[in-house]
Amino acid sequence: MNIAYPYTLEPQSDGGFLVQFVDVEEAFTEGDDEEQASFNAAEVLTGVLAVRLERGEDIPIPSPADGRPVAYPDVGVQAAVLIDFARHGRPLSELARAMGTSWPAAQRLTRPGNPTIKQLERAAAALGKRLVISLE
């Protein structure tokens, strides 16, 4: 699954661009030009998704881009979101048992952070998935 969230980019009458995310209402920002708006979009998306993860709130599945620009959250947030999506509502205790680890260790994988590749591989295998890394 690709964690690319589409956003709209609207030129403003006084200059600059307004960024609003299609799937994450509270995530919006701006930039003086398209490049800065794109950078700021990734930053705000990372922050909003991290807060949702910390609070245990639902994370929306990204809509198709349909020609709109997209932003990616940072890798720590992407990893936590992917684990959250792959769990399909299954309890963390089930993931911990399948990984042969503790509940707190499994919980850390669902929070923004810096999991190791080995941890992500084990979690993916426990969820019946495989880890694939890509550069965009």
| DSSP states of 71-124 | E---HHHHHHHHHHHHHTT--HHHHHHHHTS-HHHHHHHTSSS---HHHHHHHH
Residue-by-residue DSSP string for 18-52: EEEESS-TT-EEEESSHHHHHHHHHHHHHHHHHHH
pLDDT at 135 over 80: no
3-46 pLDDT tens trace: 999 999 999 999 999 999 999 999 999 999 999 999 999 999 99
Residues 65, 92 within the same domain: no
Residues 62, 25 within the same domain: yes
State the residue for tokens 């994370």: 59
Mean residue pLDDT across the chain: 92
Residues 65, 11 within the same domain: yes
Single out the residue of 48, 47, 42 nearest to residue 6, CA to CA. Answer: 42
Asked which of 24, 48, 71 is the last residue of a domain, the reply is 71
Asked which of 51, 71, 91 is the last residue of a domain, the reply is 71
Q: Which residues contact 70 (CB under 8 A, 6 or more apart)?
A: 4, 5, 6, 7, 62
Rounded to a whole number, what is the largest CA-CA distance in the chain? 57
CATH of the domain at 46: 3.30.160.250
The better pLDDT of the pair 33, 87 is held by: 33
pLDDT at 52 over 70: yes
Rounded to whole angstroms, the Cα distance separating 100 from 34 reads 46
pLDDT at 110 over 90: no
pLDDT at 125 over 80: yes
Residues 35, 54 within the same domain: yes
- The verdict on residue 36 lying in a domain is yes
| Region label for 9, one of left (φ > 0), alpha (ψ between -120 and 50) or beta (otherwise) | beta
Total count of domains within the chain: 2
pLDDT at 103 over 80: yes
The predicted pLDDT at position 87 comes to 84
The better pLDDT of the pair 59, 89 is held by: 59
- The verdict on residue 11 lying in a domain is yes
Q: Which domain holds residue 26?
A: 5-71
Above pLDDT 90, what percent of the chain?
Answer: 62
Residues 46, 88 within the same domain: no
At 136, is the pLDDT very low, low, confident or very high (cuts 50, 70, 90)?
A: low
